[in-house]
Each structure stands twice: as structure tokens, then as C-alpha cells.
Copies of this chain bind each other. A is one copy, B any other.
Amino acid sequence: MGFNEKQTDILLAAEKLFTTQGFDSTSVRDIATEANVNVAMINYYFGSKDGLLDSFFEWRIPDFMIDTEELSLMECSLEKIDKMIEKYIKAMNSHREIYRFIAIESSLKRRMLLSEPFSKLKIHNLNTISTIINEGIAKGVFSANNNPTLIHSMMMGTFMNFQMNQVFLQEQLGIESDDDYGIYIETTLTHFIQTTIKALLTYEISM
């Protein structure tokens, strides 16, 4: 937390290369060149390449925290579900290459130790949706037997699938540009996820 200008230069350069090439095939020299900085500065400021990744996680992961303030004011309803999903997708989609990178790197067993901040993010975001759904079930607004963890997995997975198969899906859906793809995610895909979850929460013989 609290990085100086030079550190930020390095982090930005790392971000650009990590997200396009992956962590392992990005060299510290590449990063140094991209950041217009001497190679040794990376070890000086971050200790090691792994330390840089560690700092990168700390630096970027807070962007993906759902803020619950606005939601906490709303009464439990399907509209609240819509709002929450919209917030969710917006948060992740605003830096989708970064989110994809973090999710991929954290999934490798060898990197498990580094993924603590990512774990905290997932717990926070899962709690947000769980609270809302459980409250709705308790009040009888949503049908019971719905598992918030599974619904959360479905939402996250559907979004991530769009990150990991962009080339394929862009072709399948006839989307021309990267920008249009982003728009599709924030409109059509968001609406689809909203519909899906609402269908589940109002599905009588659910589960």
C-alpha cells in the first residue's frame, strides 16, 4: 500500500505485460524496459519478482471489492438483486484483463500462498450476495433451497467465461470490437445473469 511514483511506474509496466503475456513469460528486464527503469530497481523496491506480483495483487484487488453501502439501503427485492449484479459486473468488467490475470495466476497451485488478498476479495463479494439472498429467503420473498455459494459461482463463472473465451465468443456473437464486447457484457450479459438469478429465486420446485 502507498507506492511512490517509481514503484507505480513499475507496477503499471508489469500490469501491461502480465495481462498480455502471463506472469511466467514476462521477464523482469521486459518490465524494467517498459517502465524506463533499471532492472535492479525491481528487486530494490519489491524484493523479488514474486514480491512484485504480491504487491500487484495488493495494489489492484481492492478495485474489485463490491461496495455495499448503496445496497444496504435498499429493501430486499428482485430489484435489489438486479442492482447488486449490475454493481458486480461493472466492478469486474472495468478492468477485465486484470481480473482475468489475477484469477488465472491464483488458480495455479504453486501460487496459492500469494492469493490471500484474492481470497479475501472472494469472501467479501460472496458475503455480499449471500446476505442479500439469505435475507430474501428469510422474508419469504425468494424461494428457499437456493444456495448462495452456487449462485455466486454461477455469476462469477459466467462472467469469467466471457473473459477467457473472448475471441471465440466475439465471433459467435458477431461482435466487432473490443469496446463493443465490453458493452455487451455490461448490457446483454448483465441482463442475462439478472434474469437467470431471478428465475432461480422465483423457481418453485427449485433445487
What DSSP secondary structure best describes chain A's contact surface?
A: helix
Q: A108-B21, A195-B203, A206-B199 are in contact. Are A158 and B154 (CB under 8 A)?
A: yes
With a cutoff of 8 Å between Cβ atoms, the chain B residues found around residue A56 in the complex are none
With a cutoff of 8 Å between Cβ atoms, the chain B residues found around residue A109 in the complex are 20-21
With a cutoff of 8 Å between Cβ atoms, the chain B residues found around residue A153 in the complex are 158, 161-162, 165, 169
Q: How many copies of this chain does one complex carry?
A: 2
Instruction: Find the B residue at minimum CB distance from A171.
Output: B119
Do A22 and B24 touch (CB < 8 A)? yes
Indicate if A191 sits at the interface (CB-CB under 8 A). yes
- 30 sample A-B contacts, Cβ–Cβ < 8 Å, listed by A number: A20-B110, A21-B110, A22-B110, A24-B25, A25-B110, A100-B107, A104-B107, A107-B164, A119-B168, A122-B168, A126-B172, A150-B188, A150-B189, A153-B158, A154-B157, A154-B158, A157-B157, A157-B158, A157-B162, A160-B160, A160-B161, A160-B164, A192-B207, A195-B200, A195-B203, A195-B207, A196-B196, A199-B199, A199-B200, A199-B206
Q: Which 6 A-B pairs have the closest CB atoms?
A: A157-B161, A157-B157, A24-B24, A199-B199, A199-B203, A107-B164
Indicate if A74 sits at the interface (CB-CB under 8 A). no
Excluding A107-B164, A147-B192, 7 further A-B contacts by CB distance (< 8 Å) are A22-B108, A25-B110, A153-B158, A157-B161, A158-B158, A195-B200, A199-B203
Q: Which interface class (under 10, 10 to 19, 20 to 34, 35 or more) fits A?
A: 35 or more
State in angstroms the CA–CA spacing of A25 and B109 once bound together.
12
With a cutoff of 8 Å between Cβ atoms, the chain B residues found around residue A13 in the complex are none
Indicate if A138 sits at the interface (CB-CB under 8 A). no
